């Protein structure tokens, strides 16, 4: 039996979001990569290699991370789970936010309109959305 979890062979894991989730959890707990490595019993640079995608953590390490960050294992490895492991319906969550702000006509969720856009159009929308989020964060601070 193999004791290593090879993340590259698991199709349901979106690797970029996995690496980002590791980084976000570490930062949320105000830890450095070195501190996490040492807490896990590794040499100082191992955890950074996980965040960069240069190495894959073993299943045992993933469980240790979930315990250390007090989140579910599902949350660490799956994009569609909240920190307690419950599956998150992103569309439903977005709709709740829109209802909160009394937005009734939100064409961004119209699938037919998305089908008419080019790849560049979608990249521009994504870029603009990221800009708006950063702008909102800076005005909240």
**What is the reported pTM?**
0.52
Instruction: Please tell me the predicted confidence (pLDDT) of residue 4.
Output: 41
pLDDT along the chain (141 residues), means of 10: 44 68 90 93 91 88 90 76 54 76 75 83 85 83 57
Q: What is the pLDDT of residue 96?
A: 79
CA neighbours closer than 13 Å in the CB half-sphere of residue 26:
19
Residue 39: predicted pLDDT: 93
User: Are the CB atoms for 75 and 82 separated by under 8 Å?
Assistant: yes
Q: How many CA atoms lie within 13 A of 45 on its CB side?
A: 2
Q: What is the pLDDT of residue 141?
A: 57
């Amino acid at each position: 039996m193999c004791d290593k979890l090879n993340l590259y062979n698991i199709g349901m894991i979106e690797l970029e979001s996995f690496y980002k989730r590791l980084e976000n959890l570490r930062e949320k707990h105000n830890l450095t990569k070195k501190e996490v490595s040492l807490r896990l019993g590794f040499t100082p640079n191992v955890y950074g290699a996980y965040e960069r995608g240069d190495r894959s953590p073993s299943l045992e390490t993933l469980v240790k991370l979930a315990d250390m960050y007090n989140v579910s294992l599902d949350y660490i490895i799956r994009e569609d789970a909240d920190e307690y492991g419950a599956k998150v319906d992103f569309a439903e969550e977005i709709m709740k936010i829109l209802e909160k702000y009394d937005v009734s006509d939100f064409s961004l969720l119209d699938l037919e309109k998305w089908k008419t856009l080019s790849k560049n159009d979608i990249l521009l929308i994504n870029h603009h959305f990221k800009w708006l989020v950063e702008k909102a964060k800076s005005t909240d601070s």
